[in-house]
Amino acid sequence: MTDDLHDQVAGYAMDALTPDERAAFEAHLAQCADCRDELDGLRETLADWGSDFAVEPPETLRAAVLDAVAQLPAPSAQAAKEPPITDTRPATDDPPATDTQPATVTALPARDRSGWERWRVLVAAALAVVAVIGISVWQPWAPRAITAADVLAAPDAVRATSSAPGGGSATLVRSNSLGRAVLITQGMAPAQAGTVHQAWLMHPSGGPTSAGLMADAPDQTMLLEGDARDATGAGISVEPPGGSTEPTTVIIEIGL
């Protein structure tokens, strides 16, 4: 376990890593029990904090703001066309003992200034409301869709590894409690031109089901599509572009 990857546990828990950093960390997470334990504990802590500070905005808030905006008259178009008022008052007989010239003051016409002020105050209030709603509702540690890291860190995760043709390996990790599985490849040869690699979940009955097309990369961590709770293993096959409805040429089988 390298210090650099271990230090990224917090950033990963809060979805703050770049795509490249995320992929590298997920590959490391599959092999590092310490990081999985730390990630699990950190997410529990963040979830507790989120429940303490979460505030549900009232359902009438959005409608009230929009209704107020609709009822307020917009500043007149004529006001935007009229020239600004400039302070041209003559200098006094006793100017200050300085070389600085009197400042020029620009203002909106008096009759329209109040309209602009109302719009400015209302927009500022609306932005403040949006900011409060955003802070209270959106939280990076709030419950969200299951990720590969969730499966890798699950207490009931089981894993198995098989060799890939031409070198490399493929590891299957499955969590029954989450109902999902992850496929991790390392040093796997890319698909030949005009073909793709497709992942499959193997079930005790009903045959294999497609778990998604794989990226054309030797090292990847892929959250497999479909329910994996009764999966007995996974496979990788070579298929035409776009994939197939059933495996054509299976090159890797991983049994659990």
**Neighbouring residues of 39: CB distance < 8 A, sequence distance ≥ 6:** 9, 12, 13, 29, 149, 153
Distance CA 69, CA 64 (A): 9
Distance CA 250, CA 199 (A): 10
| The pLDDT of residue 178 | 93
C-alpha to C-alpha distances, 208 to 244, 247, 248, nearest whole angstrom: 12, 8, 11
CB of 187 closer than 8 Å to CB of 217: no
| The pLDDT of residue 106 | 47
| The pLDDT of residue 133 | 46
Q: Return left, alpha or beta for 206; rule: phi > 0 is left, psi -120 to 50 is alpha, else beta.
A: left
C-alpha to C-alpha distances, 164 to 181, 193, 224, 225, nearest whole angstrom: 19, 18, 18, 21
Q: Chunk the chain into consecutive blocks of 10 residues (it has 256) and report each block's average pLDDT, rounded to whole numbers.
A: 71 80 84 85 69 58 67 57 53 52 47 50 51 45 74 92 91 94 94 95 90 93 94 95 95 94
| The pLDDT of residue 108 | 46
| The pLDDT of residue 43 | 75
Count Cβ atoms below 10 Å from residue 168 Cβ, excluding itself.
15
Q: Looking at residue 142, what DSSP letter applies?
A: S
